[in-house]
Amino acid sequence: MSDQFLTTALFLSVVALTVGITFWASRQTKTATDFYSGGRSFSGFQNGLAIGGDYMSAASFLGISGAIALYGYDGFLYSIGFLVAWLVALLLVAEMLRNAGRYTMADQLAFRMNQRKVRTAASISTVVVSIFYLLAQMVGAGTLVALLLGVESQAVQNITIIGVGVLMIFYVVVGGMKGTTYVQIVKAVLLMLGSALIVVLVLAEFNFNLSSLLGAAADNSGKGEAFLQPGLQYGSSLTSQIDFLSLGLALVLGTAGLPHILIRFYTVPTARDARKSVLWAIGLIGAFYLMTLVLGFGAAAMLDRSQVDPVEGGNQNLASPLLAEAVGGGDGSTGGAILLALIAAVAFATILAVVAGLTLASSSSVAHDLYKGVIKKDQKVSEQDEVRVARIAAFVIGAIAIALSIPAQRLNIAFLVALAFAVAASANLPAIIYNMFWRRFNTRGATWSIYGGLIAAVGLVFFSPVMSGGPTSLFPDSDWAIFPLNNPGIVSIPLGFLLGYIGTVTGREPAAEDRFTELEVRALTGAGAEGAVHH
């Protein structure tokens, strides 16, 4: 009983800390700029920590270590994809986006396009990507709390998901960007320290010899040498190899189109800080993904296969917390209980920070793009009104995410995030890149690429084995799967780029060339970036 009490106390203390930060931040959130971008007051280092906090989601911490524990080498490919993606974000997007916009991704498009059409498309895309991503985090939260409290009941997991939803709405509504950023910074520090502690303890079990850790993992996995070779998950057939390529494309190109990552570039005062924050984020995230390697192979070496293999009734999303318990002394030991509580509390903080960032990105887009730019046509909307609409939107988006998360609990969370990446890379990235680098790009091209990529990615997922036809599908008893791949990226990403091109070439509206020149100067130099983007 004392162990259970300790676990719950540690857990609640993390929640209390984040709630305290939010109340503190709420007293400093007065204007729309404060709400959307924290008053642009964060340093490159602080924003780098916050980006790390936003990016190292439940999928990274729970999903990737679970995928490695189950599939060895092939599981690690998620880590590589997530990390390499930052180079695309750094080279193509970070600094130019910071210079070209104000609060949301659509600002940069609307600068030289038809405001209403482009803002509507970008806003819909932002909300869809955010909801996909939110699903993954909420499912992780339900699984985690059920493990912590030692309950199997589905009802408790459902209540947890509702609880996380309520908390995330609270962070955004009360704290705005300032509160959300500080929650992300605290969480990034906790996650790095917690992961490093478990990694050191796992390596100590194997006398700091990586080779014997990998050997033990291969032996315990029941797969032998194949566990350390490519092909366990993505090698048995041509379809699975194409699926792997599709996943890789989505992971590498998706980051540069994720709305909750893109809005983080607006929270720093200068382009130099935007660049610096991405460099800090790459360092942090790179170190973290190296640690997932030890966590995943450690789980494969030290845990019973039945604990992580869904086929045997296990849960791969719990590899890291169960590993923490094992290195602390195992089930029933005080050390095990303390470490399990610590890692679960860190994972929970991770989930809360990421869902707050996502909800903020989508509610900002609804208020700033849809309400102010489309419904009110940019007529005098007071900052108070805009922020009020953003807060109402946070409630609605939170409610939708809660409703969708409850049936999605069987799916692997790393995989759910990969879907969000595919949608972001198909819908948002083509429009962002064309807009910054192609003078002829026009409104039709932008709307075709956003809607086309979005509909293609979501449609292909709907007709894929993810939704129906398999034991781990969302609807295992039905079968309407006609698209063979789990990840739509290989089809939907090129399609998004192609539709952007065709839309532009066939569009009658002349491109606003003078505005492109102005956008180019602004994106490359930062001149005039603080001025209003409206025209």
pLDDT at position 382 is 78
Which regions of 158-240 does DSSP assign to beta strands (E)?
none
Contact 129, 424 (CB under 8 A): yes
pLDDT at position 205 is 92
Structural tokens at position 332: 């029933």
Rounded CA gap, 242 and 80, in Å? Answer: 17
Tokens 């906090």 correspond to 53
Exposure string for 201-221, b = 16+ CB within 10 A, e = fewer: bbbeebeeeeeebbbbbbebb
Contact 251, 82 (CB under 8 A): yes
When the pLDDT of each residue in the chain is averaged and rounded to a whole number, the result is 82
Amino acid identity for residue 475 in this structure: F
What's the burial of 482, exposed, middle or buried (CB within 10 Å: 0-12/13-18/19+)? exposed
Amino acid identity for residue 527 in this structure: A
- pLDDT tens-digit series, residues 291-305: 999 999 999 999 888
* R_g (Cα) of the chain, nearest Å: 22
Tokens 């489309």 correspond to 374
- pLDDT tens-digit series, residues 56-65: 876 677 888 8
Helix (H, G, I), strand (E, B) or coil at 268: coil
CA dihedral 325, 327, 328, 333 (to 10 degrees): 70
CA dihedral 107, 110, 111, 112 (to 10 degrees): 160
Sequence-ordered list of residues with C-beta below 8 angstroms from that of 155, at least 6 positions apart, any chain? none
Cβ neighbours around 28 below 10 Å, total: 14
Structural tokens at position 388: 């009020």
297's enclosing H/E stretch is helix 271-302
Contact 308, 69 (CB under 8 A): yes
Rounded CA gap, 371 and 271, in Å? Answer: 28
Tokens 């993904």 correspond to 289
Could you tell me which of 179, 156, 146 has the C-alpha nearest to residue 26? 179
pLDDT at position 535 is 40
Exposure string for 75-104, b = 16+ CB within 10 A, e = fewer: bbbbbebbbebbebbbebbbbbbbbbbbbb
Sequence-ordered list of residues with C-beta below 8 angstroms from that of 387, at least 6 positions apart, any chain? 32, 35, 176, 367
User: Mind listing the pLDDT tens digit of every residue in the chain (535 residues)?
Assistant: 466 777 778 778 878 888 888 888 777 777 777 777 666 778 888 888 988 887 787 667 788 888 899 888 888 888 888 888 888 877 777 777 777 666 677 777 887 888 888 889 988 998 888 888 888 788 777 777 777 776 677 787 788 788 878 887 887 788 777 888 888 888 889 889 989 999 999 999 999 998 999 999 999 888 888 888 888 877 778 888 898 889 889 888 988 888 877 777 777 777 778 788 888 888 998 999 899 999 999 999 998 888 877 777 677 778 888 899 899 887 778 888 888 888 888 887 777 778 888 888 888 888 888 888 788 876 777 778 888 888 898 888 888 888 888 877 766 666 777 778 888 999 999 998 898 888 888 889 999 999 999 999 989 988 888 777 777 677 777 888 888 888 899 999 999 999 999 999 998 776 667 778 887 777 777 665 554 444 4
Tokens 């983080």 correspond to 264
Q: How far is CA 51 from the centre of its chain?
A: 10
pLDDT at position 39 is 66
Amino acid identity for residue 452 in this structure: G
pLDDT at position 532 is 42
End-to-end alpha carbon distance in the chain: 64
Strand partners, 475: 468
Could you tell me which of 50, 188, 129 has the C-alpha nearest to residue 359? 129
pTM over 0.85: no
What's the burial of 505, exposed, middle or buried (CB within 10 Å: 0-12/13-18/19+)? exposed
pLDDT at position 206 is 92
pLDDT at position 102 is 61
Longest pairwise C-alpha distance within the chain: 72
Could you tell me which of 387, 363, 446, 426 has the C-alpha nearest to residue 122? 446
Rounded CA gap, 408 and 406, in Å? Answer: 6
The full DSSP string for 45-73 is: HHHHHHHHHHHS-HIIIIIIHHHHHHHTH
- pLDDT tens-digit series, residues 265-283: 777 777 778 788 888 888 9
Amino acid identity for residue 352 in this structure: L
**Number of helices and strands (H, E) in the chain?**
23, 0
Structural tokens at position 391: 């807060």
